[in-house]
A and B are shown apart, each in its own frame.
Chain A
């Protein structure tokens, strides 16, 4: 059964400052449920910009984007926030863990915003994700006491805690050494094969790209197959 998770039609985005500049030029992409897609391309080609637009973070573009059959443009600012909270998980190059919070508290943050589970339920789910990423033993530590690789794994656990439909990433292994990169890549692949998780990642890394179902190349804001 084929189910389109992301559908972008003729997405064009331009920056007007400092000079008029077209970053995304008539981009159309479909991503199916359970697909592991990577976005590659030279620096400055518009990968990050495309990821932000597809993931609803950036709402200023021409064209149409649907996620799980919801037209993003039709949502208000608050609806969009709620939509992201339930549907989308993010992993960035930097982990963005809150330094004063413990690992467990960090992972629970999206669940707290969701607000449908009891405290114990949230804790249980957070621990489950931490275990999945092999960092359950770090749960009670302050997040700034972890190694870079551990922090990135915690960040992935946090992205997954609300069971999002899509996991977005922007060079999630960009700050990691090869060993940690391999661990993260294994985890992503497991997510895909075991949980049928839809994944869209931006990367520079060729090893990363090799693990994906599909590679989308982008150059000067245009898709080149």
Chain B
């Protein structure tokens, strides 16, 4: 019974812990990555111009040191695409994005990072920028021409606080004076450590580009489950790469899959071990009860009556062990969920997020019943097949 109990406990605890963490991550990801992300996939290996004019199948043509075309990452007619997508009833919000690498400097401290040129109000509609802000005021991005919102980790490394002036330098060598108007913390460590928001206009200036230059369009849908099909649709409609959020995080989902598999195997082995435990106990019991079985058979109990008795017995073990396991698993989850910890990994969390999905509880209980029934089946069958003559004779 203890075996079943612990099996169920571990099942619930592990499943709750793992999926809790995963759901937390997915939640964060859904809120911080676009459901559909449209961008211009840079093809570095562009077919060289010569191949357009000369048949290269019968000739060797070598072009050395071909450079990627400038503006390759640009999404042309971005404004038009955005207003077009805006009309789609499935879309909750759409925002332009201009990403670039840059260096932040505050006095002597200097950090490299990525800058996100955004329309802050649209961005907020998509990614809840305001909710994630731990200091400052989102609206000052609109009112100040040179506002910047720093990721929490970045701000810390720079030693920057609200209203500090920092210098941002782009790869084009353009530098701008910016004023810190906010600090945001998404919980996704990589973003918080490198990312800053600036206005679209400033981003374009840093890249010495005109006012229509953007590199990405982010879309948030009313129904996140439509991401994949909408992405496919946009990709064919606009001719740019459109990626849904799951594809964008494919590597993480791969890790999840491996985690889930590992835990499944752990749980299965626990249940198998506890199943063998029950099997052993019942085997011992039926040998102890051999005289009882013999007399019951002599007085006219059928084989199936006997096996029923032992099946019911093992089922009782399964039910009680299962119920206690459910309770213990729930308590363990609750307690662990209250232990404060600060983990900086993929995502940063203060407490372990535990999933209390009732489905786990049902599944764990079902597994307990199945494993005890299977474990009880063979002893029960054995008990039914005892020959009463042999038992009574040997007394």
A interface residues with partner B (beta carbon < 8 Å): 48, 52, 57-58, 77-78, 81-86, 88, 90, 92-94, 96, 98, 109-110, 113-114, 158-159
A81–B395 touching, CB < 8 Å = no
Per the 8 Å Cβ criterion, residues 372-395 of B in contact with A are 388-389, 392-393, 395
Is A93 touching B389 in the complex (CB atoms < 8 A)? no
A84/B300 in contact, CB under 8 A: yes
Q: A92 contacts which of B292, B303, B395 (Cβ < 8 Å)?
A: B395
Is B298 within 8 A of A113, CB to CB? no
How long is the Cα–Cα vector from A109 to B292 in the complex, in angstroms? 11
Determine if A90 and B298 form an interchain contact, defined as CB atoms under 8 angstroms apart.
yes
> With an 8 A cutoff between CB atoms, is B297 at the interface?
yes
B residues sitting closer than 8 Å to A (CB atoms) are 291-292, 294-303, 305, 388-389, 392-393, 395
Please indicate the chain B residues that have their CB under 8 angstroms from the CB of A98 in the complex. 292, 295
**In the complex where A48-B393, A57-B388, A92-B395 touch, is A78 in contact with B300 (Cβ < 8 A)?**
no
Query: Which residue of B is nearest A168, CB measured?
Result: B298
A113 touches B292 (CB 8 A): no
Which residues from B are CB-within-8-Å of A78? 302-303
* Cβ of A127 to closest chain B Cβ, rounded Å: 18
Which of B298, B301, B305 sits near A57, CB closer than 8 Å? B298
Q: Are B299 and A57 in contact (CB under 8 A)?
A: no
Contact A85 B303, CB 8 Å, known A92-B392, A96-B292, A98-B292: no
A10 to B174, CA, bound (A): 117
B23 to chain A, nearest CB (A): 49
Asked whether A96 lies within 8 Å of B294 as measured between CB atoms, the reply is: yes
Question: Would B395 and A113 count as touching, CB distance under 8 A?
Answer: no
- The smallest beta-carbon distance between A142 and chain B, in angstroms, is 14
A109 to B301, CA, bound (A): 9
- What is the bound-complex CA distance between A48 and B392, given in angstroms? 10
* A6 → B minimal CB distance (Å): 17
A85-B300, A88-B300, A110-B300 known; 15 new pairs, CB 8 Å cut-off, are A81-B302, A81-B303, A85-B299, A86-B300, A92-B295, A96-B292, A96-B392, A98-B292, A98-B295, A109-B299, A110-B299, A113-B299, A113-B300, A113-B305, A159-B299
Chain B residues within 8 Å of A96, by CB: 291-292, 294-295, 298, 392
Chain A residue with Cβ nearest B306: A81
Contact B303 A77 (CB under 8 A): yes
- Is B292 touching A84 in the complex (CB atoms < 8 A)? no
Subset of 24 A-B contacts with CB under 8 Å? A57-B392, A78-B302, A81-B303, A83-B300, A84-B298, A84-B299, A84-B300, A85-B299, A85-B301, A86-B300, A90-B295, A90-B298, A92-B295, A92-B392, A92-B395, A93-B395, A94-B291, A94-B392, A96-B294, A110-B299, A110-B300, A113-B305, A114-B300, A159-B299
